[in-house]
Chain A
Amino acid sequence: MESDDPLRRLLVDFFDLAENVPQEELTQRNIPAWDSLAMVQLIGELQGTFALDFDLSEIETLRSYDEIRDTLARKGVSLERQTGS
């Protein structure tokens, strides 16, 4: 079901990564293209895709798949539910 995860899909497409990239490698540290310019573009895309606005304090918590997933969950976006549907 992992490939149905919309956040994973978004990150894999956004950074043009291999489909089977392990989840723990989806981090800013591991992905050279994830620079400050990409961060701006990514935030715009996350806000558009999940129809939400990040708080300023949340900007620092968007540096990996896990962080973004947790931040989205705090804002009421459950990726699990979307994968199940």
Chain B
Amino acid sequence: MSNVEFWIRDFPSQTRQAIMEAVETARLAKVRRALRLFGQLAPELRGTQFKVELLSTYSLEPVLPTLELALSCLPCQAQLQLAPLNDIEGYVSGTTDRSSTEIPNARVVLWRVEEFAPEVLFPLSHAFPDRSPVDDAIQRMRRVVSLHKRHAPGMPLFLSTLALPQNMANPIFASQYSTGAFSAVGRVNQAIYELTSNEGGVHILDVCAWAASGGKNYTDPLLDFMARQPLSAQGQMAFGLFLARCLRPLIFPRAKVLALDLDDTLWGGVVGEDGVNGLQLGHDFPGNVHLRIQRELVELRNRGILLVLLSKNNEADARLAFDSLPEMLLKWDDFTVRQVDWNHKHENLRAAAHELGLGLDSFVFLDDSDYEREQMRQMIPEVRILNESGDPLQMLRALWETDAFDSLSITAEDRTRHADYSVRGARDAQAHGDDLESFLRSLGMEAAIEEIGPANMERVVSMLGKTNQFNLTTRRHSHAELQRLLESGCIALALRLRDKFGDQGIVAALLAVPVENGRTLEIDSFLVSCRALGRGVEDSLWADFVRRAIQKNATRLKASYIPTAKNSIVSELYDRLGLKRVTEDSFATTYALDPVAAAKWPSWIASKNGMYGK
């Protein structure tokens, strides 16, 4: 299943077929038909409203229907707004006073060397004794970013890189000297990559890397000269899907777990039959394909994707291979959960999901066996099947091509997630035998309550997007929406936790909006990361929030619990915190606390700023 087919998997088959026909032919009539069918879908299938601003040095007007269809596939209700052609700075600095509801979910800036720095293409025709056009281009990009941050803080910005010119004379010679066109474009692009590492909320739309995959086939010089629209029909559709994939992480969280098979996946051969010496893994063909699969998996693990081993084997055989194959890159302990036995894989996957406290739709499955993949598909349809073929190279290609693990950034929590979960496993095992409170005390937890601001916003937006279980309202605020809440005088708190195992980072957040002349505070969001469940951090955050509410002279709190398929764990949280039920129906239970009464900070968590005694 391609990425697009996966995105639109819940659509009726007629709509799916029309979309795939449009994608494959890139014919505008088919694009329009697919858009019409999309518009007829039930709102819940069409997804969330998603507004994107496009600022460009070249004309995108002829391409708009194709871009709209590509984004609709995510799925979302895409609204595309085109800025006037090649007026990037003017547009970015003139858009300060929008009404709040009109803030776009993302802004995309597309530039190319032909308009942006045309001198770069003809270096020998331009003498630049003092300044290089490359430096001017870099300065201009930095200015656009700083204008954006001043006039639209919090709105995610996607900067395109410059595509290497495809249509130019003397491409061989142009590569022979360091001020040539290719080198110059590379230097500008390097500056763009560096902009994203320094600036939160700035992302890269790597048009340069994308264009390299299609080369000249993606360009149409005639349309470029006629209408300053450089993309061929094929290039337009490919670009639309590329843009959609880049924006998708703003709406959909990535998969959290890859569950995978062992024999004929991590190595060639079957350890129980061929013995360790009969397995193929190493630098020679075909063992090098399996080695490359392992390299990709190690990289995923280091990005915070949890690995789960699902293998039908005797555990002793599997362990022996891990311990004695010299080329193994993945270690036994790299798997957060290992289910090596003769049970059904779907049962083992359910058990792993339970153990990790994660939903089944957080899982992706990789297995060479057609039977195992088919059984998983039927028994747990929520699990995304990564590969369609058991051929090792096809499995590797599936890893290369999938968008399942796409994200726009990597947080400190991502880097240590595997270790965190392993530690949690140890804790759980320990908790079984002991009295819970003395176990919690033994963790030496210390919580710091921080106000949400630029320093921690990325993590909070990521939590808002991903947290399913301990989440009272499941409001997936974007960066821009959170920014707007902060500007509206909302109390916005995040809890950072340390324990004897180390810094756990930010694990909980609470947003409360003043309503009714500010005397009432309404809880907009209250969530705790699944990594920190069952430790009482919600009580710490609540106690500190209530203290601040009283300080601000709030007389009343309003809150609601909005049930989803996954958050029943918090269905009675507000009852436990002493709030009174006001209304109750299948959509929500609303609560009030009137007057606001102080709440107790849990005795087993130390307070970083010393405000609460042990």
Name A residues whose Cβ lies closer than 8 Å to a Cβ of B.
Answer: 10, 13-14, 16, 37, 40-41, 43-45, 47-49, 53-54, 56, 59
Contacts and interface: CB of A to CB of B under 8 A. Distances in A.
Interface string B1-36: 000000000000000000000000011111010000
Contacts of B28: 14, 41, 45
A44 B218 CA distance: 11
Contact of B27 (A37, A43, A45, A53): A45
A40 B233 contact: no
Contact of A44 (B30, B32, B232): B232
Interface stretch (B219-227, B253-261, B399-407): B219-227
Interface in B59-117: 61-62
Given A47-B220, A47-B232, A59 B27 contact: no
A46 to B, nearest CB: 9
Interface in B183-230: 220, 222-223, 226-227, 229
Nearest to A41: B62
B62 A16 contact: no
B234 interface: yes
Closest 10 CB pairs of A and B: A13-B29, A48-B233, A40-B227, A44-B233, A40-B62, A41-B62, A14-B29, A44-B223, A45-B233, A41-B28
Interface of B: 26-30, 32, 61-62, 220, 222-223, 226-227, 229, 231-234, 236
Q: Which of A13, A41, A44 has the most CB of B within 10 A?
A: A44
Contacts of A45: 27-28, 233
Contact of B222 (A10, A13, A14, A54): A54
B226 A37 contact: no
A16 B32 contact: yes
B30 A13 contact: yes
A47 B220 CA distance: 9
Given A37-B61, A37-B62, A47 B29 contact: no
A9 to B, nearest CB: 9
Nearest to B30: A13
Contacts of B223: 40, 43-44
Nearest to B29: A13
Contacts of B229: 40, 44
A44 B235 CA distance: 10
A59 B226 contact: yes
Contacts of B222: 43, 47, 53-54, 56, 59
Contacts of A53: 222
A38 to B, nearest CB: 9
Nearest to B63: A41
A37 B220 CA distance: 16
Nearest to A40: B227
Contacts of B32: 16
Contacts of A59: 222, 226
Contacts of B220: 44, 47
Given A37-B61, A37-B62, A48-B233, A43 B226 contact: yes
B225 to A, nearest CB: 8
Contacts of B232: 44, 47-48
Given A13-B29, A41-B62, A56-B222, 20 more contacts: A13-B27, A13-B30, A14-B27, A14-B29, A16-B29, A37-B62, A40-B62, A40-B226, A40-B229, A41-B28, A43-B223, A44-B62, A44-B220, A44-B232, A44-B233, A47-B220, A47-B222, A47-B233, A48-B233, A59-B222
Q: Which of B62, B232, B234 has the most CB of A within 10 A?
A: B62
Q: Which of A41, A49, A53, A56 has the most CB of B within 10 A?
A: A41
